[in-house]
Amino acid sequence: MMEMGFAEIKGEIIQSSYWNFDALFQPQDHPAREMQDTFYLGTKAEVPDYSKIKEMHEHGGNVGSTGWGGIWDPEVARKEVLRTHTTSLTIKYLADHPKPPVKAFSIDRSYRREAIDPTHTPEFEQLEGIVMDEGVTFRDLLGILEEFYAKMGFEEVRFRPAYFPYTEPSVEIFVWLEKKKDWVEMGGAGMFRPEVTEPLGCKTPVLAWGLGLERL
């Protein structure tokens, strides 16, 4: 990542639901926020001025969205969790650096209540990255991911359309594993929705991805 011009960022394992979910436009009743997927702690965090996040969730702000409706509750946002993804780090970084250009990545641990199988464990390392700049496009995102996996020794990379609450368009990334004679999913990526970037003060497109490091 550093060869490709990215700066490395770090952050805390314990995060507020605000940064882990709300700032990413995940609705407060989203299944991923329920106890079976998230390790909640018995503590609460302070959160920054949430007026723009609240407006975006309830009514869609001024980006042509309808939002999620209902009432956004700041007390739900204050609940602390073991971060379920390192996207909580990159979204905080964007909030602190809303002006382009930004190229940043993190490699750090995440926690989920997962059943153990060949590609899932309750704690895992995630390779997170973002690019924010004038005029970046979805094609740039695919090119960056192809270049990264080429450097890791995977020449055959393909993408499949996917859904994530905070990116659109979105894709899942697969590489060809010769010894298995099969395509293996490596992670997800997309362009942050305006519902995510607008409340943070970001006015230019943001490319984002989260890759499963152990799968490499």
Q: How do residues 52-87 score in pLDDT, each as one tens digit?
A: 999 999 999 999 999 999 999 999 999 999 999 999
Cα distance between residue 37 and residue 112, in whole Å = 5
SS3 128: strand
Listed range (11-15, 54-58, 112-116, 202-206) with the worst mean pLDDT: 112-116
Span 125-181, pLDDT tens digits: 899 999 999 999 999 999 999 999 999 999 899 999 999 889 999 999 999 998 889
* pLDDT confidence of residue 96: 95
Cα distance between residue 128 and residue 90, in whole Å = 8
Distance of CA 119 to the CA centre of its chain: 19
Residue 216: pLDDT band by 50, 70, 90 thresholds? confident
Instruction: Report whether 119 contacts 39 (CB < 8 A).
Output: no
* pLDDT confidence of residue 170: 97
Distance of CA 67 to the CA centre of its chain: 19
Instruction: Report whether 108 contacts 126 (CB < 8 A).
Output: yes
Reply yes or no on whether the pLDDT at 36 is more than 80.
Answer: no
Predicted TM-score (pTM) of this structure = 0.89
Hey, what are 172's tokens?
């899942």
Listed range (14-18, 105-109, 211-215) with the worst mean pLDDT: 211-215
Residue 111: pLDDT band by 50, 70, 90 thresholds? confident
Span 173-205, pLDDT tens digits: 999 998 889 999 999 999 999 999 999 999 999
Name the residue among 38, 18, 127 with its Cα closest to residue 78. Answer: 18
* pLDDT confidence of residue 180: 85
* pLDDT confidence of residue 35: 63
